[in-house]
Amino acid sequence: MIVIQAKDYDEMSLKAYEAMKIVLTEKPEAVLGLATGSTPIGLYKCMIADYKAGAVSYKNTTSINLDEYVGLPVTHPESYRSFMNRNLFDHIDIKPENTHVPDGLAEDLQKAADEYTAFAAAHPIDVQILGIGANGHIGFNEPGTPFDSHTHVVTLKEGTRRDNARFFDNDISLVPTHAVTLGMQDIMNAKAVILLASGAGKADAVAKMIKGPVSTDCPASILQTHPNVLVVTDEAAGYYLN
Ligand code: PGA
> How many Cα atoms within 13 Å fall on the side-chain side of residue 62?
12
Catalytic residue among 68, 126, 142, 163: 142
For 66, 132, 178, 187, 223, the CA distances from 219, given in Å and listed in that order, are: 15, 9, 18, 11, 8
pLDDT of residue 242: 84
194 falls within a domain: no
Element (DSSP H or E) covering residue 195: strand 192-197
101 falls within a domain: yes
- Residue to mutate, 13, 38, 39, 162, ligand 1, most ligand atoms under 8 Å from C-beta: 39
Assess whether 103 carries a catalytic annotation.
no
Q: Give the number of the atom of ligand 1 that is nearest the alpha carbon of residue 138.
A: 9
Task: Give how many domains the chain has, as a whole number.
Answer: 1
Q: Give the number of the atom of ligand 1 that is nearest the alpha carbon of residue 202.
A: 5
Average pLDDT of every residue of the chain: 97
192 falls within a domain: no
Element (DSSP H or E) covering residue 193: strand 192-197
Catalytic residue among 65, 87, 98, 135: 135
**Share above pLDDT 70 across residues of the chain, in percent, rounded to a whole number:** 100
Domain with 128, as residue range(s), is 7-184+200-223+234-238
Assess whether 142 carries a catalytic annotation.
yes
Distance (Å) from CA 40 to ligand 1 centroid: 8
229 falls within a domain: no
20 falls within a domain: yes
Cα 220 to chain centroid, rounded: 12
The model's pLDDT over 154-178, given as tens digits with 9 standing for 90+, comes to 999 899 899 999 999 999 999 999 9
Assess whether 242 carries a catalytic annotation.
no
86 falls within a domain: yes
189 falls within a domain: no
Distance (Å) from CA 131 to ligand 1 centroid: 5
| Parallel/antiparallel/unpaired status of strands 192-197 and 127-130 | parallel
The beta strands (E) that lie in 31-142 are given as 31-34, 62-65, 67-69, 99-100, 127-130
pLDDT at 23 over 90: yes
1 falls within a domain: no
CATH number of the domain to which 102 belongs: 3.40.50.1360
For 78, 132, 143, 213, 222, the CA distances from 226, given in Å and listed in that order, are: 31, 16, 18, 14, 7
The model's pLDDT over 183-234, given as tens digits with 9 standing for 90+, comes to 999 999 999 999 999 999 999 999 999 999 999 999 999 999 999 999 999 9
| DSSP structural state of residue 221 | G
Catalytic residue among 67, 68, 126, 234: 67
Whether ligand 1 lies within 6 angstroms of the CB of 37 is answered as yes
Q: Write down the pTM of the prediction.
A: 0.97
Assess whether 67 carries a catalytic annotation.
yes
Nearest CA to ligand 1 atom 1: 37
